[in-house]
């Protein structure tokens, strides 16, 4: 089952709000449904949001809406999650074909989907080669946060896709996923994916990650990204920054793995990235049960920003940028995507 796909004239997604208890496909027929699905994180992950953005525009164009109406809807879709650049990127790619008619818009959305499948294979290979150089002589342990596997993309993921590639190559010792509060994408989604692929793992609470790094629990930290600024500063799930500090302290590589479409050269640095605040409800209750006293105020940043000086390398489908060796996104050339 693909995480997001175009099936019989509509978008279908694996509903990530009910995993791991249920594996349910949700069919999305309208823009309202899609915006809701994005905001409640039924579909999430930078690559999947890129596909959702493009398919959302295609669906609107195919519905018979006029060009102005499609543009208005596209703006709404674009704004559904402000930090993730891929959503806007996917919307814009589809919009560029609007003058050519709905069929062309759909073709572009399907291309975005197919390119993601290929990009994730390429990232897995680049990432595995990079980490083989870090740990040349034994099996590797990787720490990660949030979910960056197939559930964050179409078929295979970004950072977790690298772990999957290494597992397929036979030299993955263990993954240490952080549970990822408040919505537990690590506990619910990453643990589920690791079980599906038969990879060994031990789940930990978020704040244990930095300490366990200091005790040698992982050879490297691998994370995805929601937006990578021109200077390499990276917005990703909250918790990434603290892992980066701890990786530096422990002397292990901290590696960002994301498709080229996550690199946003129009954002100069992390200071220019808007951080989505998702409100109190996610923190003060769990399901129907209160976890904090009534009236508790919160600050709930969905993302944090890791400064480029704490990042060892940025690995995309088309290049490896060694920030720790002084390389920069603006100068390292793109290579063709790898498929082996």
Q: Which residue numbers are catalytic?
A: 226
| Local structure of residue 41 (DSSP, 8 states) | T
Q: Which of 204, 288, 206 shows the shortest CA–CA distance to 240?
A: 206
Judged by CB under 8 A, does residue 203 bind its own copies? yes
| Local structure of residue 295 (DSSP, 8 states) | T
3 state DSSP class of 120: helix
User: Minimum distance between the CB of residue 164 and its own copies, rounded to whole angstroms?
Assistant: 17
Judged by CB under 8 A, does residue 298 bind its own copies? yes
> In degrees to the nearest 10, what's the CA dihedral of 162, 246, 308, 325?
-80
Judged by CB under 8 A, does residue 287 bind its own copies? yes
Q: Partners of 25 in the beta sheet?
A: 14
Task: Count CA atoms within 13 Å of residue 179 on its CB side.
Answer: 10
Q: Which of 198, 246, 196, 200 shows the shortest CA–CA distance to 223?
A: 246
# binding residues, its own copies (CB under 8 A): 54
Judged by CB under 8 A, does residue 150 bind its own copies? no
The answer to whether residues 81 and 49 touch, using CB atoms and an 8 Å cutoff, is: yes
Beta carbon nearer to its own copies, 30 or 298 = 298
User: Minimum distance between the CB of residue 181 and its own copies, rounded to whole angstroms?
Assistant: 4
Out of 291, 330, 334, 335, the residue judged to bind its own copies by CB under 8 A: 291
3 state DSSP class of 101: coil
Out of 304, 308, 313, 318, the residue judged to bind its own copies by CB under 8 A: 304
Binding mask 161-200 toward its own copies (x if CB under 8 A, else -) reads: ---------------x-xxxxx-x--xx--xx--x-----
Instruction: Determine the Cα–Cα distance for residues 216 and 220; give it in Å rounded to an integer.
Output: 10
Judged by CB under 8 A, does residue 309 bind its own copies? no
Out of 239, 254, 263, 321, the residue judged to bind its own copies by CB under 8 A: 239
User: Which chain residues interact with its own copies by CB under 8 A?
Assistant: 20-21, 145, 176, 178-182, 184, 187-188, 191-192, 195, 201-212, 214, 217, 238-239, 241-242, 245-246, 249, 283-284, 286-287, 289-293, 295-301, 304-305
């Amino acid at each position: 089952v693909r995480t997001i796909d175009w099936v019989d004239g509509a978008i279908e997604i694996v509903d990530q709000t009910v995993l791991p208890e249920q594996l349910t496909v949700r069919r999305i027929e309208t823009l309202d449904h899609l915006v809701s699905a994005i905001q409640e994180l039924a579909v999430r992950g930078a690559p999947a949001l890129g596909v959702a953005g493009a398919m959302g525009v295609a669906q609107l164009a195919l519905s018979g809406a006029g060009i102005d109406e499609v543009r208005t809807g596209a703006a709404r879709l674009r704004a559904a999650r402000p930090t993730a650049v891929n959503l806007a990127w996917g919307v814009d790619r589809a919009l560029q074909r609007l003058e050519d008619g709905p069929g062309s818009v759909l073709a572009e959305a399907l291309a975005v989907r197919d390119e993601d499948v290929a990009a994730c294979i390429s990232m897995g290979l680049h990432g595995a080669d990079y980490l083989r150089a870090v740990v040349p002589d034994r099996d590797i342990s990787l720490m990660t946060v949030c979910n960056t596997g197939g559930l964050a993309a179409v078929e295979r993921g970004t950072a977790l896709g690298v772990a999957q590639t290494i597992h397929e190559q036979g030299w993955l010792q263990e993954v240490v996923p952080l549970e990822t509060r408040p919505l537990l994408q690590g506990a619910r989604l990453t643990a589920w994916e690791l079980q599906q692929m038969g990879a060994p793992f031990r789940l930990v609470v978020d704040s244990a990650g930095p300490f366990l790094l200091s005790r040698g629990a992982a050879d490297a930290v691998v994370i995805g990204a929601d937006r990578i600024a021109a200077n390499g500063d990276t917005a990703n799930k909250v918790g990434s920054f603290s892992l980066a500090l701890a990786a530096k302290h422990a002397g292990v590589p901290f590696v960002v793995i994301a498709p080229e479409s996550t690199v946003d050269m129009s954002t100069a640095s992390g200071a220019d990235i808007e951080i989505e605040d998702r409100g109190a409800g996610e923190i003060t209750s769990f399901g129907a049960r209160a976890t904090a006293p009534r009236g508790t105020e919160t600050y709930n940043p969905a993302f944090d920003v890791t400064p480029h000086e704490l990042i060892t390398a940025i690995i995309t489908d088309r290049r490896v940028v060694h920030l720790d060796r002084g390389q920069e996104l603006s100068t390292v050339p793109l290579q063709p995507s790898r498929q082996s």
